[in-house]
Each structure stands twice: as structure tokens, then as C-alpha cells.
Amino acid sequence: MRAGPGGHVQDAGQRRAGAANGQRDRGRARAGKVEGVGDEGVCHGCSLDGTDRFEGERSIAGGRSRLKRAKRSIWGVASRFEVVTLIHAPPELVFDTSLSVELHTASMAASRERAVAGVTSGLLGPGDRVTWRARHFGVPWRMTSLISGYDRPAYFMDEQVAGPFRRWRHAHHFVLAPDEEGTVMRDVVDFAAPAWPLGVAAEVLVLRRYLARLILLRNAHLKRITEEAATPHD
């Protein structure tokens, strides 16, 4: 899961994943940029205080996002969110790098995440499994993920087959940016919280924001690495 510069998190309870999304991203483009996605990101569906939506004036991996709140009951929120990131690198490069075990562990250094079983190095491919071990909320987590969908360089899906969540599906979409000089990357996360005593409140008030922040951090690292690789050097 990362971000900052270029990260844009949206409440996907109001949006549908699928092929039409790529067309919508293109339609939102203006003068070679995707509207609302740039070096400053925005975030929806992540707050801790019951407003459930925020665009935070907060530093995330060196980037900043503008604060804007919209009141909404926490009880009506689906366990789903979306992150959109504009990366100035080709889709093929972004797609392949997204599947790098080493990139993922480097981006998750703060939680000491590492691959301990399955494919533990190199690029993940269709049908591959990897078991991650990390520390979140001060306790050890272990999750085995399966690459259950794969269509290079447009899409892949990872989902939990064993681990702490009742449900975890993370769809990764990649489309050529409108200026044809970059990639619009969309992460769509659909999850159900672990069976903790706090139940729905924990899922909405804690996990959604925490998981979105991890995706933002990961994407900031991915953006930096791929843009550096795509930049010509003398």
C-alpha cells in the first residue's frame, strides 16, 4: 500500500470501478493534466472525527494537500476508497514497478513490512502469492496476497487469501495520461475490517484513514522512483 506528491484519494462509494473509469479520467483532463490531480493531492473519506471526508492541510511524504471538510455520517460509509495519482512516466514502467516486491518493502519501511513467503523478490506476476509481515497499530500483522487479475500494462488486482481482514481487494488501474507523457494510476481499495471489538467505528474512523495514508505513501515512493527512471540523464 503510499503518497504525497501527485496523490488524490476519492471516496469511491460514489464512484464505480470499471472500464469507463479510464474514459472519465481522460474526460477530466485539461491542457495535459488530469483535473484535481497534480503535485498537490486531495483526500476524501479518511477523517477521524465523524465528518468522514477530508482534504487535509497535512504533509504526506513531502507533499501537501488542501483542507476541506464535508459533513457525513460515519455509519453510511462503505469500506471502499480510491486513490488517483498522476505519474510522469510510461504506463509500462509504472505497471511493472508497482509489482516490485523490493519497491513495496522500501515504501513500507516505517511499518517494517517485508515479504516472508511466496514470491519474496523481483516482480509479481499472474497467480503469484506473497506473504507480507508488518507491524501496524503496534501489533504484528501477517497477510498473504494473491495476484488474482493481470492485464499488463492496464490493470492488476491483489487480494487477501489469508490475513487480518474479513475482505481485502486492491485493484490497480493504469491509463495513458491525456498529454500522452505520463500515467494516470488509480488504486481502488475494497475492504472489510477485522472482527475487532470496535467494529464499524474502528473500520470507518481508523482503518480507512490509515490505509489511505499507506497507499499515499506507497504511491509517493513509486512516483519518485519511476519519474527518476523516466527522466533522461546526460
The full set of domain ranges for the chain reads: 7-230
Hey, which residues does 166 pair with through a beta bridge? Answer: none
Q: What is the pLDDT of residues 30-65, one digit of tens each?
A: 323 444 455 433 454 554 343 333 333 233 333 332
Grid cell in block for residue 33: 493534466
Tell whether omega for the bond before 178 is within 30 degrees of 0, i.e. cis.
no
Return the CATH number of the domain spanning residue range 7-230.
3.30.530.20
- pLDDT tens track, the chain, 234 positions: 444 444 554 544 444 444 344 344 333 333 234 444 554 334 545 543 433 333 332 333 333 322 223 233 344 344 788 999 999 999 999 999 999 999 999 999 989 999 999 999 999 999 999 999 999 888 899 999 999 999 999 999 999 999 988 899 999 999 999 988 899 999 999 988 776 555 555 556 678 888 999 999 999 999 999 999 999 876
Contacts of 137 (CB under 8 A, 6+ apart): 206, 210
- What counts of helices (H) and strands (E) characterise the chain? 5, 14
Q: How many CA atoms lie within 13 A of 74 on its CB side?
A: 19
